[in-house]
Chains A and B, each alone.
Chain A
């Protein structure tokens, strides 16, 4: 593997010059350990208490892990799979691998064996550092087919007592080994650390593409350090930021926020106690810098609304009144319209009664800047959080760009754009309407995949695959995935994701898939949001047993039909898209699931696969049937598969607004 010669040309701009004492992450951590020795680098909630580790402990722990790996025969260039929830030990393992000139390869912790096998085998990982027994079991299951994998190291010893497989050790044992190695090879670590250089590969992030096998995007220390620093300066980040590290470590976003930027800026990251406690931990930490994809913002909003619906009537009325006010003000503010005196006077009262307490309760009282990215966010959701006084902004980024491409600056936030390019990023729109960009963060290519690299990189420019344009003020606007924009049979333009996002803005719709390419009209598969629709049903005394049962209730179909009609009404306002209204829909009998390969782990719809898997449903949508039988294969969490049979109802949607009852 390693970087191909042709890829060297990618590195461009002069601003990415780094001095050789500070040109890799381990060197920067060493520097932090001296400069900020007693400052907290990382906290983890464990046994009910936030346990803190300083920058000097960070460096020392990572050094011991590195020495332990070295004792096991770790060589420069070796790849280390990293699997688990956000844990200090795993971040240290990332640094340990880099310090020895190796490359960490983080893998999504909820991957099933087959996915894990592909990445471990493709990256040729010799080592794996994982969180616990669950991940060990998966790796042992695939080890026979992964020729390179020799050592598996686990953090949590629980349940591991009976394991006698060779090549298996705990992190505690590894650190002990490291201490001994330190005595016998005192200069080894420092020498290896010094050999690291800016253009070494720092990480391989496997992107769960919506088509085909995952691709391993290789990012160098230079890519990440320069981009992390540029974005931090662009946004005025400080050393005293607090971040909650709750998004998967395998996702480049977490790597940049919780590792690269934390190290470059010297700020503190906080690891939640478990995936189930994230919202409670968020409240305790009250981060200053927060990142959440739209689905996180949606789920926070949903949980707030559910609690408000359960509150007493006067309270409910109060909250609704002030939330409407806040959103109205925010809408005018974003549209650069004047705010009336009346609104100005009421807002402080709202802060006192609703916005302040709510913000505090959610853990957003200390947020200086928060971001949403990855997908379009619903305007209502965006306005809700901004209305509360939380500085949520949109950003646009990609793994291949070390995340940051554009960010909305403070005071320049819009509903429909993703902001302006950050320092050293250039954007161009191709003749076909595709967004191209170039920056110091542009990656070093896909591991062992020159064809894909060639398709993505053109003379130093990255083809984003997104269709978009730059508006008058230099803001980037994203329409849809370029390859998904197509036409209906009659030539009307059809941008599926655009319509799906509008549908998903409804609290009752969790996922939507629109169909229409070369078809007479647009139709949609809907996944309802079980929590929201479930609560709606309970309030109406509609009994149900499971997702599948609730999804097929006639009342739920009525509810969703109203939502689809609302979307159609908004599409009708757009001259280009008015022809692409949803004519028929069905509610899927099961939730789209990454384990079934219907969506990616970052919840992007895999159209090709769905078209193939649900061909019967699509035929039924276009043949005028009003109900269809479907058989679906489901994959359980342990990798077993089963078959599910269900009856699915199909509904027509009237084009005009519904007749009032």
Chain B
């Protein structure tokens, strides 16, 4: 739609679990700096598609290219090293660790150095730690979670845990951010906050974002483009206003009988 170079290119990807085809020849491309929402009824294959992109599942056919290079069969750590970070539908924080430490784990990929120097907290290891901490503090400031910096993540209310998870993903300085239902289970105010943070991340860091979301109001408000999946197939792809009035989408959501 904008002629921008796509950051992520998914071409004819299918994922199957035994006889079940969860994602069926889906193609989509995500241009740099855009916010793309992936929507669809339960079981449409949204999370599976995200898992395929982040390397948890490997497609049975089709190819995935990131920044123009094929990376269909990479493992999750390799995908993360390329610059793709994600959050999870059911929070995956280290509950006993503080918020600060949780976010610091997001920097792990950027950390090098020897085990011994790290353990002694000496020389380059010390300097490196300080640099990473400074970066993490910028994210803490950005997401306004200063007050809970030292709180164990497991003690926080759900909405805040979601925000901490976003912070951890941002700590990896991703080029592409995958958000799996960032606003599920939140009240209206928390949702508004989260929307603002997602937009700010996109504006300030220029991060490209793909998100799965059920709240249509949210999707229409923040995304540049909406991709609709149903039974593993892509049934629509376009600007929010267009997708909203698409007959196939209406049918999918209203539950018309499928042949």
Query: Could you tell me if B149 and A161 are in contact, using CB atoms closer than 8 angstroms?
Result: no
**Is B144 positioned at the interface, with any CB of A under 8 Å from its CB?**
yes
Query: Could you tell me if B137 and A274 are in contact, using CB atoms closer than 8 angstroms?
Result: no
Residues in chain A near residue B140, CB distance under 8 A: 47-48
Given that A48-B149, A161-B203, A161-B204 are known contacts, is A274 also in contact with B144, CB under 8 Å in the complex?
Answer: yes
Query: Could you tell me if B200 and A273 are in contact, using CB atoms closer than 8 angstroms?
Result: no
Among B147, B199, B200, B203, the residue within 8 A (CB) of A274 is B147
Query: Could you tell me if A158 and B146 are in contact, using CB atoms closer than 8 angstroms?
Result: no
Query: Could you tell me if A277 and B146 are in contact, using CB atoms closer than 8 angstroms?
Result: yes
- In the assembled complex, the CB of A170 is this many whole angstroms from the nearest CB of chain B, namely 14
Cα–Cα distance between A654 and B147 once the two chains are bound (Å): 45
- In the assembled complex, the CB of B104 is this many whole angstroms from the nearest CB of chain A, namely 12
Residues in chain A near residue B196, CB distance under 8 A: 159
**Is B97 positioned at the interface, with any CB of A under 8 Å from its CB?**
no
**Is A236 positioned at the interface, with any CB of B under 8 Å from its CB?**
no
Query: Could you tell me if B146 and A274 are in contact, using CB atoms closer than 8 angstroms?
Result: yes
Residues in chain B near residue A158, CB distance under 8 A: 142, 200, 204
Q: Which residue, B137, B147, B199, B204, has most C-beta atoms of chain A within 10 A?
A: B147
Cα–Cα distance between A273 and B144 once the two chains are bound (Å): 10
Cα–Cα distance between A274 and B142 once the two chains are bound (Å): 12
Instruction: Find residues 489-528 in chain A having any chain B CB closer than 8 Å to their own CB.
Output: none
**Is A280 positioned at the interface, with any CB of B under 8 Å from its CB?**
yes
Among B142, B147, B199, B204, the residue within 8 A (CB) of A277 is B147
Given that A159-B200, A159-B203 are known contacts, is A47 also in contact with B147, CB under 8 Å in the complex?
Answer: no
Residues in chain B near residue A277, CB distance under 8 A: 146-147
Residues in chain B near residue A274, CB distance under 8 A: 144, 146-147
Query: Could you tell me if B203 and A47 are in contact, using CB atoms closer than 8 angstroms?
Result: no
Given that A159-B196, A277-B147 are known contacts, is A47 also in contact with B137, CB under 8 Å in the complex?
Answer: yes
**Is A46 positioned at the interface, with any CB of B under 8 Å from its CB?**
yes
Cα–Cα distance between A280 and B204 once the two chains are bound (Å): 29
**Is B111 positioned at the interface, with any CB of A under 8 Å from its CB?**
no
Q: Which residue of A lies closest to B134 (CB)?
A: A47
Residues in chain A near residue B95, CB distance under 8 A: none
- In the assembled complex, the CB of A455 is this many whole angstroms from the nearest CB of chain B, namely 42
Residues in chain A near residue B149, CB distance under 8 A: 48
Given that A273-B146, A274-B146, A276-B147 are known contacts, is A47 also in contact with B138, CB under 8 Å in the complex?
Answer: yes
* Majority secondary structure, B binding face: helix
**Is B141 positioned at the interface, with any CB of A under 8 Å from its CB?**
yes
- In the assembled complex, the CB of B13 is this many whole angstroms from the nearest CB of chain A, namely 34
Cα–Cα distance between A184 and B245 once the two chains are bound (Å): 59
Given that A158-B200, A159-B196, A161-B204 are known contacts, is A46 also in contact with B147, CB under 8 Å in the complex?
Answer: no
Query: Could you tell me if A49 and B200 are in contact, using CB atoms closer than 8 angstroms?
Result: no
Residues in chain A near residue B138, CB distance under 8 A: 47
Instruction: Find residues 274-292 in chain A having any chain B CB closer than 8 Å to their own CB.
Output: 274, 276-277, 280
Q: Which residue, A46, A48, A161, A277, has most C-beta atoms of chain B within 10 A?
A: A48
Cα–Cα distance between A374 and B190 once the two chains are bound (Å): 35
**Is A162 positioned at the interface, with any CB of B under 8 Å from its CB?**
yes
Cα–Cα distance between A49 and B138 once the two chains are bound (Å): 11
Task: Return the CB mask of B195-211 against A: 1 if under 8 Å, else 0.
Answer: 01001100110000000
Cα–Cα distance between A591 and B107 once the two chains are bound (Å): 43
- In the assembled complex, the CB of B139 is this many whole angstroms from the nearest CB of chain A, namely 10
Instruction: Find residues 129-162 in chain B having any chain A CB closer than 8 Å to their own CB.
Output: 133-134, 137-138, 140-142, 144, 146-147, 149
Among A47, A159, A276, A280, the residue within 8 A (CB) of B141 is A47
Instruction: Find residues 43-58 in chain A having any chain B CB closer than 8 Å to their own CB.
Output: 46-49
Residues in chain A near residue B137, CB distance under 8 A: 47-49
Cα–Cα distance between A159 and B199 once the two chains are bound (Å): 8
Residues in chain A near residue B147, CB distance under 8 A: 273-274, 276-277, 280
Query: Could you tell me if A276 and B203 are in contact, using CB atoms closer than 8 angstroms?
Result: no
Task: Return the CB mask of A154-184 against B: 1 if under 8 Å, else 0.
Answer: 0000110110000000000000000000000
Task: Return the CB mask of A127-171 against B: 1 if under 8 Å, else 0.
Answer: 000000000000000000000000000000011011000000000
Cα–Cα distance between A472 and B141 once the two chains are bound (Å): 55
Residues in chain A near residue B203, CB distance under 8 A: 159, 161-162
- In the assembled complex, the CB of B171 is this many whole angstroms from the nearest CB of chain A, namely 14
- In the assembled complex, the CB of B45 is this many whole angstroms from the nearest CB of chain A, namely 34
Cα–Cα distance between A277 and B151 once the two chains are bound (Å): 12
- In the assembled complex, the CB of B229 is this many whole angstroms from the nearest CB of chain A, namely 30
Q: Which residue of A lies closest to B135 (CB)?
A: A47
Q: Which residue of B lies closest to A159 (CB)?
A: B200
Cα–Cα distance between A158 and B144 once the two chains are bound (Å): 12
Cα–Cα distance between A276 and B141 once the two chains are bound (Å): 13
- In the assembled complex, the CB of B224 is this many whole angstroms from the nearest CB of chain A, namely 14
Q: Which residue of A lies closest to B196 (CB)?
A: A159
Task: Return the CB mask of A12-52 against B: 1 if under 8 Å, else 0.
Answer: 00000000000000000000000000000000001111000
Q: Which residue of A lies closest to B139 (CB)?
A: A47
- In the assembled complex, the CB of B111 is this many whole angstroms from the nearest CB of chain A, namely 19
Residues in chain B near residue A273, CB distance under 8 A: 146-147
Q: Which residue, A46, A49, A159, A162, has most C-beta atoms of chain B within 10 A?
A: A159
Residues in chain B near residue A46, CB distance under 8 A: 141
Query: Could you tell me if A48 and B146 are in contact, using CB atoms closer than 8 angstroms?
Result: yes
Cα–Cα distance between A47 and B147 once the two chains are bound (Å): 12
Query: Could you tell me if A276 and B200 are in contact, using CB atoms closer than 8 angstroms?
Result: no
Cα–Cα distance between A68 and B155 once the two chains are bound (Å): 47
| Selected A-B contacts with CB under 8 Å, 29 pairs | A46-B141, A47-B134, A47-B137, A47-B138, A47-B140, A47-B141, A48-B133, A48-B137, A48-B140, A48-B146, A48-B149, A49-B137, A158-B142, A158-B200, A159-B199, A159-B200, A159-B203, A159-B204, A161-B203, A161-B204, A162-B203, A273-B146, A273-B147, A274-B144, A274-B146, A276-B146, A277-B146, A277-B147, A280-B147
Give B residues with C-beta under 8 Å from A: 133-134, 137-138, 140-142, 144, 146-147, 149, 196, 199-200, 203-204
Shortest Cβ-Cβ A-B pairs, 4 listed:
A276-B147, A47-B137, A48-B137, A277-B147
Give A residues with C-beta under 8 Å from B: 46-49, 158-159, 161-162, 273-274, 276-277, 280
18 more contacts with CB within 8 A, not counting A47-B137, A49-B137, are: A46-B141, A47-B134, A47-B138, A47-B140, A47-B141, A48-B146, A158-B142, A158-B200, A158-B204, A161-B204, A273-B146, A274-B144, A274-B146, A274-B147, A276-B146, A276-B147, A277-B146, A280-B147
